[in-house]
Amino acid sequence: MFINNPFAELSASLPPAVMQTYVVVMIILVAAGTLFDVVHKGSAKYFFANWRKSKTKGSKAIGGGELASIAIKTGLVDFLASGEFCNARRRVAHLLTMYGFLIHYITTAVMVFDASASAVWAQLWWIGGLMVCAGGYWFWFFIRVDVAAEGNSPFRVVRADLFILSLLASVTLGLLWAAAGGGAGVLFGLYLLATTVLFGSVPWSKFAHMFFKPAAAFEKRVSHAIGFRSNLPAPADKPEQFGSARQQPRHY
């Protein structure tokens, strides 16, 4: 089970081109949804305006070498290590979910387009899916702030939960479908439905945040380096500056 390509089983009842087209459509939906989110919320306009403001009002200039160093640090600390999370449990849950997401869906695309892909891809597909489940369910039932702080039911759902719920539904149904032997059926239909909601709801979920966060982290590190007092939180490794989210909240 863990070494077989579950999508290869579909060829008996579904032409490979159908799933390949579906994957391409999902990629297009993510790209279009992200662009729509950027335009609708004005995210790009805001960050470019803040960037220009920091360059004109900063107290010092930085060279290309330092800019490259900041970019590397942003990638290593803020993106790869999720340095913005000061809570260890939340960071671990986020990293499990993020890396599981990347592994699971990259291997999905590989196995859909190459039915003869080696068993390693199938094993990585399972590992990625289980990582998503571990991090996602841990976050949903034990870490969410509103449940612990406000006494809300763990089953309370708001629009901000759309991404994590559709992701968990997609991955969980995908793993159950594969464990049942693959092939077209009810589980496969539900799996496709949940996956379509995940990738088709980008403008209304937090999906696009994964593209915005590295840009925001880079901008605030540059602002800090040139001495501009940005209205963004301080870099993850500078908690003492600019009222970082790592400090206790202050109420006025």
169 in any annotated domain: yes
The pLDDT, as a whole number, for residue 69 is 78
The pLDDT, as a whole number, for residue 129 is 98
78 in any annotated domain: yes
- Amino acid (one-letter) located at 19: M
Yes or no: say if 226 and 54 are a contact pair by the CB < 8 Å rule: yes
37 in any annotated domain: yes
165 in any annotated domain: yes
The pLDDT, as a whole number, for residue 241 is 38
Structural domains counted in the chain: 1
220 in any annotated domain: yes
The pLDDT, as a whole number, for residue 81 is 72
The pLDDT, as a whole number, for residue 150 is 62
Ranges of residues in the chain whose predicted pLDDT is under 50: 239-252
106 in any annotated domain: yes
Other C-beta atoms closer than 10 Å to the C-beta of 229 total: 12
52 in any annotated domain: no
Structure-token pair, residue 209: 């945040």
Which structural domain, as residue segments, surrounds residue 99? Answer: 8-45+62-225
